[in-house]
Amino acid sequence: MLPVLFPQDDERYGEGHFGRDGGTSMRRSIFTDPKTMASIGVRSLLWYTPLRRFTFYRYWYNFTPEHLSFFVNCLNQIREVPGDIYELGCANGHTAVFLNQHLQSAGIDKDYYCVDTFDGFTKEDTTFEVKHRGKAPRNLGGFRSNSPKGLEYTLRRNRCKRTFCVKANVENYDFRRPIAFCLLDVALYRPTVTALDKIWDRLSPGGLAVVSNCKPGNCFDGAMQAYDEFTSKLAIQPRILHDRLGLLEKQPEPAQALLF
C-alpha cells in the first residue's frame, strides 16, 4: 500500500491546507479573488471558440523533460566554475525562464545571457544550407516570432534575475566574458561552427557547452556536422547524449571531479 502523502490529521499542514477545511478554504479564495474570477470567465467564454487553445496550458519547450533535467545537472556541476551562462538561440525564452528559475532556487550566482538574431536565420546561413547541404528553403524560415522587447517582458514577467537579452548574430558576437555553461541552439552549420570556436576560447576549465540538434537526418543537422568537425579538430571524443545533445567539456583542474 502506498503511504498517504498528505495526511489530513498532520499538524504540519494545518487547517485550510490539505486539511479538513481545505476544500472550503480553496473555494472561498477562488470566489473572492477578482483575477481568478476573471480568468474563469475568459476561459468559459473562449471555450466555444478556436481561441480556447490559447487559454489552457500546453507544453511549450523545444526540449524534452529529459533534456531539461540534463541542463539542470549541467548547471549544478558548473556552480563553482568561473564565468557566466549563455543561451545562443533562445526563441521565445521558455528554456531561459526554466533554467533561470533553477539558478535562483539552487542559489547559483551567475549572469544569464540570451543571444539571438530575433530575425530567424540569416540569408547567408540559409543559402549555405540550400546550396551546400541540400536543405529545402521551406524548412529554414522559422524562429521569427519574438523580439528583444518580447523576451525581456517574458523574463520580467517570470521574475527572472540577472538576465540579459542581446540581439546579435553569434557569428559576429564578441564573447568577452568567461563562460561556465553554454547552450548552443542555433541549428545551422555556419553559426554553429563559428560559435564553437569562440565559445571554446572563453570556456573556463571545468565549463560545459551543449550543442543541440546533434541528430542526423533532419533539416537542422548542420549543428551535428559542425560538432563532429569541431571535436575531430580538437581530437575530442564526441559525446551525444539524450538523442541529440552534443556535450563539450573543458578539461577541469585535476582536483575537480567530473559528473559526466
Per-residue pLDDT of the chain in tens (260 residues, 90 and over written 9): 444 443 444 444 344 444 444 555 555 565 667 777 777 788 788 788 887 777 777 777 889 999 999 999 999 999 999 999 999 999 889 999 999 999 999 999 999 999 999 988 889 998 998 999 888 877 777 666 788 999 999 999 999 999 999 999 999 999 999 999 999 999 899 999 999 999 999 999 999 999 999 999 888 899 999 999 999 999 999 999 999 999 999 986 665 555 56
Q: Please indicate, yes or no, if residue 194 is contained in any of the structural domains.
A: yes
24 and 127 in a common domain = no
194 and 120 in a common domain = yes
Number of domains comprising the chain: 2
Residue with the three cell numbers 538523442? 243
CATH of the domain at 119: 3.40.50.150
220 and 116 in a common domain = yes
Q: Which amino acid is at 119?
A: D
DSSP 27-56: HHHHHH-HHHHHHHHHHHHHTTSGGGGGTS
242 and 120 in a common domain = yes
Q: Please indicate, yes or no, if residue 260 is contained in any of the structural domains.
A: no
Q: Which residues touch 61 (CB under 8 Å, ≥6 apart)?
A: 68, 94, 95, 98
Measuring CA to CA, how many Å separate 97 from each of 64, 90, 181, 255? 15, 10, 16, 33
* 8 Å CB contact between 246 and 239: yes
195 and 96 in a common domain = yes
Q: What is the mean pLDDT of the chain?
A: 85
* 8 Å CB contact between 178 and 202: yes
Nearest to 178 by CA among 242, 97, 86, 256: 86
214 and 178 in a common domain = yes
Residue with the three cell numbers 567530473? 258
Q: Please indicate, yes or no, if residue 259 is contained in any of the structural domains.
A: no
Q: Please indicate, yes or no, if residue 258 is contained in any of the structural domains.
A: no
* 8 Å CB contact between 143 and 122: no
Tell me how many degrees the CA angle 202-93-209 measures, rounded to the nearest 5.
25
Dist. CA 142–CA 134, nearest whole Å: 18
Q: Please indicate, yes or no, if residue 239 is contained in any of the structural domains.
A: yes
Element of type H or E holding 149? helix 148-157
104 and 207 in a common domain = yes
49 and 73 in a common domain = no
Q: Decide which of 43, 58, 73 is a domain's last residue.
A: 58
* 8 Å CB contact between 84 and 110: yes
Give tens-digit pLDDT for 92-130.
899 999 999 999 999 999 999 999 999 888 899 989 989
139 and 91 in a common domain = yes
Q: Please indicate, yes or no, if residue 3 is contained in any of the structural domains.
A: no
150 and 171 in a common domain = yes
Q: Please indicate, yes or no, if residue 255 is contained in any of the structural domains.
A: no
Collapse the DSSP code of 85 into the 3-class scheme (helix H, G, I; strand E, B; otherwise coil) and give the result.
Answer: strand
Q: Please indicate, yes or no, if residue 254 is contained in any of the structural domains.
A: no
135 and 44 in a common domain = no
Structural domain boundaries, residue 188:
65-249
121 and 230 in a common domain = yes
